Amino acid sequence: MKKSFNFIAVILVLLGFSLPTYSLTNNNCTCNQKNAEAVIKLIDEVWNKGNFQIVDQLIAPKYIIRHDPGDQWENKTIDLATYKNRVKMSRDVLPDQKFHIEDLVCQNDKVAVSWKFTGTQKGDLPGLPATNKTVSISGLTIYYFSEEKIIGHWQVIDKLNLFRQLRGETGKH
Amino acid sequence: MKKSFNFIAVILVLLGFSLPTYSLTNNNCTCNQKNAEAVIKLIDEVWNKGNFQIVDQLIAPKYIIRHDPGDQWENKTIDLATYKNRVKMSRDVLPDQKFHIEDLVCQNDKVAVSWKFTGTQKGDLPGLPATNKTVSISGLTIYYFSEEKIIGHWQVIDKLNLFRQLRGETGKH
């Protein structure tokens, strides 16, 4: 069935038809409140307060950073120790970091969050020694779940403004 | 009821307790398939093909750009003519632009989409005349609905890589 669908799709494309970029097949509409709560807890407790003790409850032993431009672990599968190290490294550079969730969209095994971030650069970044500057930036993340644990994310952060603010730059782009 | 909750919240904060950054009250779990289809249509037909005739079906007469760092209409309410102009300006600069939806999360009156984008800069940007360079970047958008029309968005685009690729830069940040 899938093979014949693919065949028809190829023919349509060859004939000049274009397919939608996303297919809504199997777009079930359930929302798992527990998943939403887990994401809020991850952000409030782990990223904002450095409570590493609950990481094992929330994060799966194999966590995939599916997309996260500029992140050193992008496209990698990391273990729990590496996840904790990831949080620690961020908190070492910006010890007062605070993510504030702006909105949350929850469906099936996914939770999307829009967020704002503030933090003061007290530690060094590659090529950018501690500036003591406070940055205010934003981002969006989709967290993926399996068996009530978070198994990975797809994320975009406004790093243009991050580095601009750290470098004290202004300007259009 | 809300007033007393706010009062208790203030007392808790004064006592040193911190509240979660996002409250799940009223986190209803319905998903409107029509909203998801409207977002796919907006991206496939309007942004990717320049089909302006269907904008009025999809977009509300008052559309709010809630958050979109660097966008000239950020925090503004725009009308349908301005929305079409927004798409036209983007397509004038990058005539072969293609958004590809990577994933979609739909709940109540919101649809979150993660996407990748490719386009070749044939037109001028402020301070950046046409480079003829092809860029591949990504972003995430939450679209908001009311009465089956899209009333606004909250978006983050990886503009660091956009300008890096247009300028032919490489490097960590």
DSSP symbols for B66-122: EE-TT-TTTT-EE-HHHHHHHHHHHHHHSTT-EEEEEEEEEEBTEEEEEEEEEEE--
A56-73: per-residue pLDDT in tens? 999 999 999 999 999 999
CB contact under 8 A, A106 and B29: yes
Q: Do A84 and A55 touch, CB atoms closer than 8 A?
A: yes
Chain A's closest residue to B70, CA to CA, is A172
- On whether the pTM is more than 0.90, the answer is no
List Cα–Cα distances, B8 to A34, A155, B1, B14, B40, in angstroms. 25, 35, 11, 10, 43
**What's the Rg (C-alpha) of chain B?**
19
Q: Which of chain B's residues have a Cβ under 8 Å away from the Cβ of A13?
A: none
Encoded tokens for B122: 């044939």
Question: Is the pLDDT assigned to residue B103 strictly greater than 90?
Answer: yes
CB contact under 8 A, A127 and B48: no
Chain B's closest residue to A154, CA to CA, is B114
A6-36: per-residue pLDDT in tens? 666 666 556 656 666 677 665 567 778 899 9
Comparing CB atoms, the residue among B20, B31, B100 nearest residue A107 is B31
First and final CA of chain B: distance in angstroms? Answer: 48
B21-40: per-residue pLDDT in tens? 677 665 567 778 899 999 99
| Best mutation target, A65, A114, A155, to test chain B (most B CBs within 10 A) | A114
Q: Which of B6-10, B29-33, B78-82, B126-130 has the highest mean pLDDT?
A: B78-82
Q: What is the ipTM of this complex?
A: 0.87
Encoded tokens for A75: 């496209």
> Can you say whether the dihedral through the CA atoms of B26, B65, B135, A69 is positive or negative?
negative
Q: How high does pLDDT run on average in chain B?
A: 90
- Among A151-155, B6-10, B39-43, B129-133, the least confident range: B6-10
pLDDT band at residue A173 using 50, 70 and 90 as cut-offs: very low
pLDDT band at residue B104 using 50, 70 and 90 as cut-offs: very high
